[in-house]
Amino acid sequence: MEVISSPIADVKIIQPKVFGDERGFFMETFRVDWFKEHCADVEFVQDNHSKSAHGILRGLHYQLEQTQGKLVRVTSGAVYDVAVDMRKSSKTFGTWFGVELSAQNARQLWVPAGFAHGFYVISDSAEFVYKCTDYYHPASEVSLAFDDPTLKIDWPFAGEAPITSSKDAQGYALADAPVFD
């Protein structure tokens, strides 16, 4: 496995080693020892799995309580995955980082607690699996507007408006969004 830095210090891209042969492929997708040494000394308590059609945008979400770090990857298709720093004391507060995650590139993204997270489905459909460092806490969940004019996230929409949940269509502007210390 290789860890690749991003412009936001705590957000990391992880590139597993893929062993291909005539049968297909094998890769180790997570190791506690490697992750603690190279990314963060955290424990994961919940795994999630979602499937979305082309053009779906899920997010940008974060929980104010039981804040979740997320280790995310794509097992089918391709998404554009985005993390936004919501920690007001961070020198990268209000900045975003995006990367294409796909079954093809096998890349993962480590999104620490304190970040808003979301993704846009580039392929016909995508299956998205991820590990969380705390449990779901819907009472404190926040949606940040994916199209906030201050964030200016460079989503790969190619002219078509994304399909979102009603919750995500009414996300907070960055200026009004609750933040972390």
Cβ atoms of residues 28 and 15 within 8 Å: no
Cα separation of 76 and 74, whole Å? 6
136 binds ligand T46 per the rule CB under 6 A = yes
Q: Among residues 11, 14, 42, 58, which is the contact residue for ligand T46, using CB under 6 A?
A: 58
CB proximity list for 116: less than 8 A, separation 6 or greater: 59, 60, 61, 62, 83, 84, 86, 142, 144, 177
118 binds ligand T46 per the rule CB under 6 A = yes
Which SS3 state, helix, strand or coil, does residue 14 take?
strand
131 binds ligand T46 per the rule CB under 6 A = no
| Amino acid in position 6 | S
Cβ atoms of residues 61 and 166 within 8 Å: no
Q: Among residues 5, 48, 104, 140, which is the contact residue for ligand T46, using CB under 6 A?
A: 48
Closest CA relative to residue 57, chosen from 158, 141, 164, 149: 164
Please report, for residues 76, 172, 175, 176, the alpha-carbon distance to residue 149 in angstroms, rounded to integers and kept in the order given: 31, 11, 10, 13
Of 9-17, 99-107, 111-119, 170-178, the window that binds ligand T46 (rule: CB under 6 A) is 111-119
CB of 17 or CB of 178, closer to ligand T46: 178
Cα separation of 89 and 87, whole Å? 6
CB of 28 or CB of 47, closer to ligand T46: 47
Binding mask 139-178 for ligand T46 (x = CB under 6 A): --------------------------x-------------
Of 8-16, 22-30, 37-45, 53-61, the window that binds ligand T46 (rule: CB under 6 A) is 53-61
CB of 52 or CB of 90, closer to ligand T46: 52
130 catalytic per annotation: yes
Interface ranges with ligand T46 (CB under 6 A)? 48, 50, 58-59, 61, 70, 117-119, 136, 165
Residues serving a catalytic function are 61, 130
